[in-house]
Amino acid sequence: MDKNDWSISRKEGKELIIEVFKNIIEENDNVDIHTMCVLMSKELNYNGFFIYRNGKRRNLNNYMKIEFEGIHSFLKKNENIFKIVNDRYIELI
């Protein structure tokens, strides 16, 4: 798609995902990839933050899947911040 039909820009979305990931990793030990997705949604819902696409409410997992091709791809594109340990756990560098 040529136009951004999300309520946030790609740059803002990336910064938000990185911030949420960092907060979750700092608060929890041994966060695995699947748990990260659940915790990410809970944290944003708890804070009352919502993302919209074409007027419909979407969660950050959906945003990451569409804009960054999923959590694995997002983590690989941000290897300077995060690393995957044993193909399962996410850690900060």
- Beta strands 51-53 and 56-58: pairing type? antiparallel
**Helix-helix angle 10-27:60-68, to 10 degrees:** 120
The size of the chain, in residues, is: 93
pLDDT at 3: 62
pLDDT at 2: 45
CB 90 within 8 A of CB 38: no
Per-residue pLDDT of the chain (93 residues; tens, 9 = 90+): 446 799 999 999 999 999 999 999 999 888 999 999 899 988 887 777 889 999 999 988 999 999 999 999 999 999 999 999 998 999 999
Cα separations (Å) of 25 from 11, 31, 32, 89? 21, 6, 10, 10
